[in-house]
A and B are shown apart, each in its own frame.
Chain A
């Protein structure tokens, strides 16, 4: 007999037990129990409830131990675990209630132990040119957690799939390393947890709680700005995990250097591993995403519908998902996939009205912000204090208001569109490294909002 095979071992023990107790007793107590695992010479027996656990300890413990010892001396002890329901009963076929639609509860299971949403996996993750670097880094992280890229810092605008990616890492990690502990949380939850712990005077327990994880995933770290005490706590937590080679993953909507009001030493640590951004999804990736989402929901969309949707919504995958969901919903209600005209109708309610703003308004605000005369913007001067604001204006007009390059050029003193392109690219590049500039642009944006 193979003593390391729980099933075989349990069968053997049961045949022995059956001989020593009455059939009624045997059927009542042993039918629904099994060996969960054998670890360090301790046999863990899974039982359905506390009733069983108490009774096993009281009545059958010595008997079971005796039988186990007879099989092999390697078994030191027996312990009893109350096991989860889903692991016990073989599922019986459910009688479907005809006609009624089910509430979509299945999608909303969140595992309490690690906070991960099982819906986010790599199977449902679409890899395209915009995120393949982030994807590759994730895979590398999973294959050698705590060593390859630690910490892994993923940033990108809202709705690009950051949360999906980092949760998928968590889920994959869980699958690949069953014994290790994963925990996912948002930085906001971390702040709340910390303040609660301080309030309740259990700061030490708080520290221990987070130090036990083998993989800690923190979403949206930019919300830590200005929370100094929490930052300090995260700093210490980071050091503790990092020193023991535990993997840490962060996500944010901007690179570490651009997160405002965050302690320098923490900033440095956030950026000390691998920092990767997820860019804007290209059209091909968007098409792939739409097809995948529709297929998951069992709806086939015609190529022109897919293409239409992909070209209309360009930046946020979340919005794309929302639209696909509403298409799926209307397909389910009507029983057939919608054609292009209907999708167009649906989309109309979906796309937000574009914010319109006059170029003059932007110029006035920016000139005021930098304290220069707004007329100098339109002039052909190349004075440094004018050139920078002018470039910022071009960047904002392009990025926030989607004004075309030639129009921007024409409105800002008849400049060539290539000049505008150059300016926008320059600011875009500098914004990632120059925190001062990033801050200025954020302030200007809030002025314009």
Chain B
């Protein structure tokens, strides 16, 4: 194999692709390698850790066709050292690869590529498909991945639930202490269906998604994100997702609208004084038209701060883990937040004012 391509294209591709290679060294060497394929349909880089996989197209000249697998970490280090403009060429010589950039000539040991697994690309016409802008999907997956459970005990909760219905993509993630639901309208209707993307995989995929439109194709076990430059695949969680809609309160005892800015700063300051349970108490006061943030830590001290709020309903005191409250903020960018409480011992709903796409549910702490 002999190929030559722009340094910039090469290093960007390596950064995107190498992330998908297996990081643990104990497994098959081929899994911690990037496979470079030069053939009729151009140059491609591939990597997989058997959970996710990538097939990435690069622009470049192919002088001689062939396949070579190179260790991902070495390739990564090499790529980040390339600075100036110009070309880089890779030539296979026996069981080594010669990488030439400018005046530098490096010889890399290759990895046997026969062990490199096939990446299951979708072919079936029966699969479900939909199209969405890569930029939108990227933020959606990245935001929600952080709300999913980190424990693998319940694989469905360690996943992002995506459901397509009537031209709307609904994404849900929960770790059973809080739940985030985001809705995105689709330009084309797509087929109906649901899929569970493991949150860890979703975060990886999100980083590699291009800005342009991607076609998402999925069946029972596998999902692929296809764009002009790449195909990303991930295994899907094969489990039932809880019918989360049933835990969303329908009636509320108090509803408050606050400035996001106020909420954010008050929460940040009060958090300093929260105890080892990370507890912050919110007191809704209708009469004074305010919400009080209170935290108490026997070792640090205590703090109380009030913010003005428009409140409908009765007074209520309810405590939360502050991390779960703060996690709602990056999910919406509206200036006002609406907090709706269904009562003591019941979850609080946070929405962005005028933003119907978000629903954030957080479970209270025992009083």
Q: Which residues of A contact B (CB under 8 A)?
A: 24-25, 27-28, 48-55, 58, 82-86, 89, 91-95, 97-106, 108-112, 329-330, 332-333, 335
Chain A CB within 8 A of B98 CB = no
Report 20 cross-chain contacts, Cβ distance below 8 Å, ordered by A residue.
A48-B50, A49-B51, A51-B50, A51-B119, A51-B235, A53-B120, A82-B220, A82-B221, A94-B153, A99-B277, A99-B365, A100-B363, A101-B366, A102-B177, A103-B179, A103-B244, A105-B242, A105-B247, A109-B242, A332-B345
> Which chain B residues lie closer than 8 Å to A51 at the CB level?
48, 50-51, 53, 117, 119-120, 235
Apart from the given pairs A53-B120, A53-B221, A105-B157, 5 other A-B contacts in the complex at a CB distance below 8 Å = A24-B115, A99-B366, A101-B365, A102-B177, A105-B174
Are B118 and A54 in touch, CB under 8 angstroms? Answer: yes
Are A86 and B243 in touch, CB under 8 angstroms? Answer: no
Given contacts A25-B115, A333-B367, contact A100 B244 (CB under 8 A): no
> Smallest CB–CB gap between B326 and chain A, Å?
14
> Smallest CB–CB gap between A271 and chain B, Å?
34
Given contacts A100-B363, A100-B365, A102-B363, contact A24 B27 (CB under 8 A): yes
Which of chain B's residues has its CB closest to A92's CB?
B153
Are B364 and A49 in touch, CB under 8 angstroms? Answer: no
Distance in angstroms between the alpha carbons of A111 and B242 in the assembled complex = 9
Chain A CB within 8 A of B29 CB = yes
Chain A CB within 8 A of B9 CB = no
Chain A CB within 8 A of B26 CB = yes
> Which chain A residues lie closer than 8 Å to B101 at the CB level?
none
Distance in angstroms between the alpha carbons of A89 and B367 in the assembled complex = 35
Distance in angstroms between the alpha carbons of A105 and B48 in the assembled complex = 33
Given contacts A52-B50, A89-B155, A99-B365, contact A111 B240 (CB under 8 A): yes
> Which chain B residues lie closer than 8 Å to A329 at the CB level?
345-346
> Smallest CB–CB gap between B44 and chain A, Å?
18
> Smallest CB–CB gap between B246 and chain A, Å?
5
Q: Given A27, A86, A97, which contacts B155 in the complex, CB threshold below 8 Å?
A: A86
Which of chain B's residues has its CB closest to A32's CB?
B50
Distance in angstroms between the alpha carbons of A52 and B118 in the assembled complex = 9
Are A83 and B238 in touch, CB under 8 angstroms? Answer: yes
> Which chain B residues lie closer than 8 Å to A106 at the CB level?
242
Are A100 and B235 in touch, CB under 8 angstroms? Answer: no
Q: Given A28, A50, A93, A101, which contacts B120 in the complex, CB threshold below 8 Å?
A: A50
Instruction: Tell me the B214-232 residues at the A interface (CB within 8 Å).
Output: 220-222
Distance in angstroms between the alpha carbons of A325 and B221 in the assembled complex = 38
Q: Which 5 A-B pairs have the closest CB atoms?
A: A85-B155, A49-B235, A99-B277, A50-B120, A105-B242
Which of chain A's residues has its CB closest to B247's CB?
A103
Interface 1/0 per residue, B329-347 and A, CB below 8 Å: 0000000000000001111
Which of chain A's residues has its CB closest to B179's CB?
A103
> Which chain A residues lie closer than 8 Å to B238 at the CB level?
82-85
> Smallest CB–CB gap between A177 and chain B, Å?
21
Chain A CB within 8 A of B237 CB = yes
Distance in angstroms between the alpha carbons of A102 and B277 in the assembled complex = 14
Are B27 and A27 in touch, CB under 8 angstroms? Answer: yes
Distance in angstroms between the alpha carbons of A53 and B220 in the assembled complex = 13
Distance in angstroms between the alpha carbons of A58 and B155 in the assembled complex = 28
Interface 1/0 per residue, B12-40 and A, CB below 8 Å: 00000000000000111101000000000
Distance in angstroms between the alpha carbons of A449 and B179 in the assembled complex = 41
Are B240 and A105 in touch, CB under 8 angstroms? Answer: no
Distance in angstroms between the alpha carbons of A157 and B267 in the assembled complex = 50
Which of chain A's residues has its CB closest to B235's CB?
A49
Are A102 and B117 in touch, CB under 8 angstroms? Answer: no
> Smallest CB–CB gap between B47 and chain A, Å?
12
Q: Given B28, B119, B366, which contacts A333 in the complex, CB threshold below 8 Å?
A: B366
Interface size on B, residues (CB 8 A): 55
Chain A CB within 8 A of B64 CB = no
Q: Given B29, B237, B244, which contacts A24 in the complex, CB threshold below 8 Å?
A: B29
Chain A CB within 8 A of B151 CB = yes
> Which chain B residues lie closer than 8 Å to A98 at the CB level?
276-277
Are A99 and B120 in touch, CB under 8 angstroms? Answer: no
Which of A50, A55, A58, A94: most chain B Cβ within 10 A?
A: A50
Q: Given B27, B117, B177, B237, which contacts A97 in the complex, CB threshold below 8 Å?
A: B177
> Which chain B residues lie closer than 8 Å to A104 at the CB level?
247
> Smallest CB–CB gap between A337 and chain B, Å?
15
Distance in angstroms between the alpha carbons of A49 and B118 in the assembled complex = 12
> Which chain B residues lie closer than 8 Å to A58 at the CB level?
118
> Which chain B residues lie closer than 8 Å to A100 at the CB level?
177, 277, 320-321, 324, 363-365
Distance in angstroms between the alpha carbons of A85 and B26 in the assembled complex = 23
Distance in angstroms between the alpha carbons of A250 and B240 in the assembled complex = 26
> Which chain A residues lie closer than 8 Å to B363 at the CB level?
100-103
Instruction: Tell me the B149-168 residues at the A interface (CB within 8 Å).
Output: 151-153, 155-157
Are A333 and B344 in touch, CB under 8 angstroms? Answer: yes
Given contacts A55-B117, A84-B239, contact A101 B155 (CB under 8 A): no
Chain A CB within 8 A of B176 CB = yes
Q: Given A82, A94, A108, A335, which contacts B243 in the complex, CB threshold below 8 Å?
A: A108
Distance in angstroms between the alpha carbons of A82 and B221 in the assembled complex = 7
> Which chain A residues lie closer than 8 Å to B152 at the CB level?
89, 92
Q: Given A27, A99, A110, which contacts B240 in the complex, CB threshold below 8 Å?
A: A110
> Smallest CB–CB gap between B20 and chain A, Å?
12
Are B222 and A49 in touch, CB under 8 angstroms? Answer: yes
Q: Given B222, B237, B246, which contacts A108 in the complex, CB threshold below 8 Å?
A: B246
Are B242 and A108 in touch, CB under 8 angstroms? Answer: yes
Q: Given B174, B178, B239, which contacts A85 in the complex, CB threshold below 8 Å?
A: B239
> Which chain B residues lie closer than 8 Å to A330 at the CB level?
345
> Which chain B residues lie closer than 8 Å to A48 at the CB level?
50, 235
> Smallest CB–CB gap between B317 and chain A, Å?
11
> Which chain A residues lie closer than 8 Å to B220 at the CB level?
82
Are B120 and A54 in touch, CB under 8 angstroms? Answer: yes
Distance in angstroms between the alpha carbons of A89 and B158 in the assembled complex = 13
Interface 1/0 per residue, B277-310 and A, CB below 8 Å: 1110000000000000000000000000000000
Chain A CB within 8 A of B350 CB = no
Distance in angstroms between the alpha carbons of A271 and B247 in the assembled complex = 38
Chain A CB within 8 A of B195 CB = no
Distance in angstroms between the alpha carbons of A104 and B117 in the assembled complex = 41
> Smallest CB–CB gap between A124 and chain B, Å?
18
> Smallest CB–CB gap between B18 and chain A, Å?
18
> Which chain A residues lie closer than 8 Å to B242 at the CB level?
105-106, 108-109
> Which chain B residues lie closer than 8 Å to A24 at the CB level?
27-29, 115
Given contacts A51-B119, A332-B345, contact A108 B247 (CB under 8 A): yes
> Which chain B residues lie closer than 8 Å to A52 at the CB level?
50
> Which chain A residues lie closer than 8 Å to B244 at the CB level?
103, 105, 108
Distance in angstroms between the alpha carbons of A108 and B347 in the assembled complex = 16
> Smallest CB–CB gap between B24 and chain A, Å?
10
> Which chain A residues lie closer than 8 Å to B48 at the CB level?
51
Given contacts A98-B277, A99-B366, A100-B177, contact A109 B243 (CB under 8 A): yes
> Which chain B residues lie closer than 8 Å to A25 at the CB level?
28, 115
Are B117 and A103 in touch, CB under 8 angstroms? Answer: no
Are B28 and A101 in touch, CB under 8 angstroms? Answer: no
> Which chain A residues lie closer than 8 Å to B155 at the CB level?
85-86, 89
